[in-house]
Structure 1
Amino acid sequence: MNNTEDLDHASSLLLVRDAMNRTTADLPALPDLSGPARAQGLRRRARVRAAIGGGVLTVVAVAVAGAVALPDSGWGATGIGVAAQPSDSRPQPQPPVHLEPSPGESSMADLPADERARQEQFQNRAVPVLQGLLPEGVGTLQRTDLSVRLYQGTKDGKTFTVVFSVRPTGSDTDPRTCLEVKGRTCKKGALPDGTEVIASTSPVNDGDVTESRIFFRYNKSNVSLSVSPHDASHTSAPVTNDQLLTLAKAPAFLDLVKSADAEPVEEAQKILPAGE
C-alpha cells in the first residue's frame, strides 16, 4: 500500500470515529433509578443503546460504501477490520424491589445464606416466565426481597402485586370452590393432565376494583397465582380469568410448579382442625 492509500485509509477511519462520537455526544445522562422504577430505567437505557447501535451501524455502512467507491483504495467492505462479536442475549437477573417487613414479620434477609440464595434463584427463574405469560398491562415484573412468593409489576407509574405460591400441604383436600357470590366471577379450566384449575375475579377494598387469581392442587402442593389492583389509582388487576387459565397450562409455568413441588421454597401449609 503506497502513501496515498495509507492516507485514504486513515482518513476513512477518522471519519467513522468522528461520526460515532457525534452520534452519542448529545444523549442525556440517565438518572440512577432504584426500586420499582429501576426496570423502567433499564428499558429506557436499552432503547437508547439500540438507537446508538443503529446510528453507528448506519454511519459505518456509509463510510464503508464510500471507501469501496474510492479508486484504487486497495480495501473493500471488510477493510475496516472490526470483527463482529457475538452478544449474550440471555436475560440478566435484576435487583429485587426492597420491601420493609412489618413489625414482627420476617423477610428473606433473615434466612440462612444458602437458603436465601436458593430462593432468589427460584425467583430469578420465575420472573422471565411470568413476564412472558402475564398480559402487558401488568408491566415489568421484578422479584422482591421480602418473600419468595412476592413479585411486583410496574407500568405507567402503577404497581401491581403478584403472588406466586407453590406451598406444600399435608391435606389432599382442595379447599377452594368456584362460587360466584358478592360480585365474584369464576371460571374452571384444566391442566393437560386433567387437573382442575379455578380462576376467579373478585371485588376488593370498597368494591370499586378487582383482584384476579388462579388456584389448583398439584401433587403435594397448593398452587396459586394472584394479581392485585393498584389502589391509589383505583385500577383493577389487568388480567382476566381466561388469561390466567391459559397461563396455568403453559409448559414453562408448569415446570416452575413441578420444581417447587419437588424442592419446596415455602414452608408447609398448616391445616388446623375446625374451631382452632
Structure 2
Amino acid sequence: MSPTTEDLRRRMSDELGQFPTLPDLTTPALAGGRRRRRHRRVAVGGAAVVGLVVAPLLFLVGQPDRVDDHPTTPADVAADPTNADATGDVRQRAARIRAEAEADGVVTDTEWSRSVVATLDALLPRRFGGVDRTPNDAVVEVRTRAGSPRLDLWMSVSGYEGSRSSQPASGGCAQVEQAAADSDAPWDILDCADARFGDGFQALGTSERIVGGSRSDTPGSESYAGALLLLDDQLFVEVGISPVGKEAPLSVSADELVELGRDPDFLDLVREGVAYASQRVDAAGSGLVQVEPVWPS
C-alpha cells in the first residue's frame, strides 16, 4: 500500500523534529548581497564563505526604503558640522552629538548618521585625518581624509537568535583563520586580533585578501577588506572596511581595530545603535525576520 500524503508529511515532520531549529538567513543573505554588490568583491562561490564570516546577521543602517523625518541628502552631508574641521575636543563633540540623538528617546536616521560620523572621526587613529560622510543610499558610510590607502568604513548593528558560539566572532582569530584555510576560494587572513572584555563582549579585527573567482565581476583580481566585529549575547556589531581603490591592504592594524571596539566612546555609539536598530525592527514592512539587538543589562 502506497503511503498517503499525510503519511509522508507525518514522517517528514518526525524526521525534521530531531534537528535543531535553523536560523532565518534571509535578511543576512540580502544584507551580504548588498554589501558584495557595492564593493564588487568576489565570486558567488567564494563570496558565500566570506559573507558567512565577515557579514553575518546584518541590520543595515539607513536603508532606502525607510521613512525618516529628516532624510540625509548630499546637501545635508555637505552642511553637516561633523564634516567640518573640528573645533575643540573631537571626543567631547562626538559625545554631545550622541547625547542629543538620544535625548528624546527616538534616534532618527539623520541622528544615527551624525553619531556614526562624529564618533569614527574622533576614534580612528589621527594619521587618517578624520572622516567625511560619503553619499550612499544603503548604509552610513564614511571615508578617511588621509592614509595610504584611505579607507571606506560603514557600520551595522543587529541582534541574533540562538547560541553565541554560532556567531563568527565567538571563536576569535582561530575560527576565522580556519574558515579561510577551509575555503575553496583564495582567501588570506593578513592580520587578525581578538579580545574579550567588559560584560561579555568579544571583539575581532581582521584584514583580508581575496581573489575573484571565475564568476566574479573581475576574475583573478585581488581585493582587500577587513572588519571590526563586536559580539555579545543577542548583539552583533560590524564595522566593515575596504581600502579606497581596493588594490592595497588596509592601512589600519587588527590590534587598532580591536582597541577601537573596546573604547568606551565606541561602546556608547553601539548602545545608541541598539536603540536605533530596535526602533526599526518592524519598520521595514518587508516581511523579513529581523531580530532586535539587546544591550547588555
Instruction: Point out the structure with max Rg over C-alpha.
Output: 1
**Partner of 1:246: helix, strand, or coil?**
helix
In structure 1, the partner of 2:201 is 195
Does the CA contact (< 8 Å) of 1:189 and 1:245 recur in 2?
A: yes
Match of 2:76 in 1: none
Determine the C-alpha separation between the residues in 2 that align with 1:252 and 1:168.
20
Residue of 251, 254, 257 corresponding to 1:244:
257
Percent of aligned positions that are identical: 18
Q: Distance in 2 between matches of 1:230 and 1:187?
A: 23
Q: Distance in 2 between matches of 1:197 and 1:170?
A: 19
Match of 2:144 among 149, 153, 156: 153
5+ long unaligned stretches in structure 1: 1-100, 272-276
TM-score by length of 2: 0.47
Equivalent residues in 2 for 1:13-162, closer than 5 Å: 110-114=65-69, 116=71, 118-143=108-133, 144-155=135-146, 159-162=150-153
Distance verdict in 2 for CA 1:142–1:212, change over 3 Å: same
**Alpha-carbon distance in 2 for matches of 1:261, 1:218:** 12
The residue that corresponds to 1:215 in the other structure is: 229
Question: Separation in 1 of the partners of 2:148 and 2:253?
Answer: 21
Opposite residue 198 of structure 1, the aligned amino acid is L
Structure 2: stretches of 5+ with no match in the other structure: 1-36, 39-61, 73-107, 182-186, 212-219, 283-287, 291-297
Question: Please, what TM-score do these two structures have when normalized by structure 1?
Answer: 0.50
Misfit runs of 4+, over 6 Å: none
Asked if 1:175 corresponds to 2:159, the answer is: no
CA distance 1:130–1:238, change in 2 (3 Å): same
Number of equivalent positions: 167
Distance 1:138 1:172, change over 3 A: farther
Q: How many Å apart are 1:159 and its aligned residue?
A: 5.0
- TM-aligned CA deviation for residue 165 of structure 1: 1.0
Q: CA deviation at 1:219?
A: 4.3
C-alpha separation in 1, matches of 2:240 and 2:127: 14
